[in-house]
Structure 1
Amino acid sequence: MTREASIIELGAWLQTPPGRYLLDWEQAQFDAAVADLFGFHALQLGLPELPGLRANRMPHRWLGAEQAAGSAAAPAAVQLDLLCDFDALPFDSNSLDLILLPHALELAHDPHQALREVERVLRPEGRLVISGLNPASLWGLRQNLGRYSPGQSPLFLPQQGEFIGYWRLRDWLRLLSLEVGAAHFGAYSPPLRTARWLERWAWIEPLGARWWPVLGAVYFLVAVKRVRGMRLVGLERRSKPKRTAAAPVVATHQHKTK
């Protein structure tokens, strides 16, 4: 299966009842996380079905997709701003204030290298927001059953992509000096395929968040880029003329969809 096919498969799955259930939870998390983050330049990489920056007020906001996937990865109503490889971002170092990775690492050629690129272009004290499917959940267990017994149990989630465990991801972030702050899990319903049954299990959400919080089908975290020896001290005591922040330099080979 090609990468293009795998991404199209993910887009189709997101239109199913469990896909919409997952997107609704994640949309609420992204809206709350980015609403009060300030700066000049914000970038979302991947999952154009989820407008992760819609609640943010930064003046420059971009939506990027994988170069290999092409414009077919985005729904017709979504305008992409950037096509690139996630492990070779066309931005200057230390130029972005906020980066969103909704399920981007799961489909990346090299998720660790993609994270290194994100750390490179993120400014000190910049925010990184990530969501991903949790392999240590009922949904992850159901997917593994389908993979190891394909004749008896069909896959529940999209076939392509690698699940990256929450604790494994935290280790990667720590090695890159990205400090994890807020973290949440959600979607505690069993792996059900119909909207009717998912609604019947809505009662389990508050119980899951309280009693088995790390077993949700999806995790969501916010990390901050820390630079040793540097700290922000807020507003300077001496007033200085305000200067407009320059936009980060984007490589000339970027393509913009119409």
Structure 2
Amino acid sequence: MAKFALITGASGGIGRKTAELLARNGWNLYLHYYINKKEMDDLVKELSNYPVEVIPIQADLTGAAGANQLTESIFGIDAVVHASGVSKWGLFQDHSESDMDDLWNIHVKSPMIIIQKLLEKLIRARGKIVIVSSIWGQTGAACEVLYSTVKGAQLSFVKSFSKEIARNGVRINAIAPGAVNTGMLNSFTEEELEDVKEDIPMGRLANSEEIASAIRFLLSDEASYITGQVLAVNGGWYT
């Protein structure tokens, strides 16, 4: 029977690799993006090599309207992977209310709306949900207070919602990556990245494929008794 997964932020580093891995494993895909149309077009073309259906959906998740619009484009669904994300660097006192709203909406409110709107379908399918959070949601980071706060909120949602929905056969878990070699680190200098690597026991950044593999595991039947958990994929950093 055909399986369908929604991946938000599918044009980003982690979302893209997750789409490739799921397509390789026979998943049909709804792929959300916002402004990266070229990256999405390239991804859809690449996934045409697999015998799966791929449906791109454009939506702005900085507001509720975009989240609602996205769900209206979805019919059957077996899994949701929320990989959308942006960060705001700088001192807390320098951030605007708009910054706060954007991060809250993208990381917390929009995925909650999406899951709520799709919940009936997910219950019918005994579906799975994976939220891509962050190491900073677990431990916090200076100069990333907004990002750490919304990532921590994601983890609280996963832990509480898992208890509410478990008897309906729906599983929800989170991935908490450490430093991943994606575009989110583009603002770092080489020297700064080397300093980060020195702090990580494994001595290197994660690659997107490693995060995607953890997501695939949590969506699989191999993880059938796992819900409400946070899987840290961080090379031993902040254990």
Higher helix share: 2
- TM-score normalised per structure 2: 0.46
Structure with max Cα Rg:
1
**Greater relative CO, 1 or 2 (CA 8 Å, sep 6+):** 1
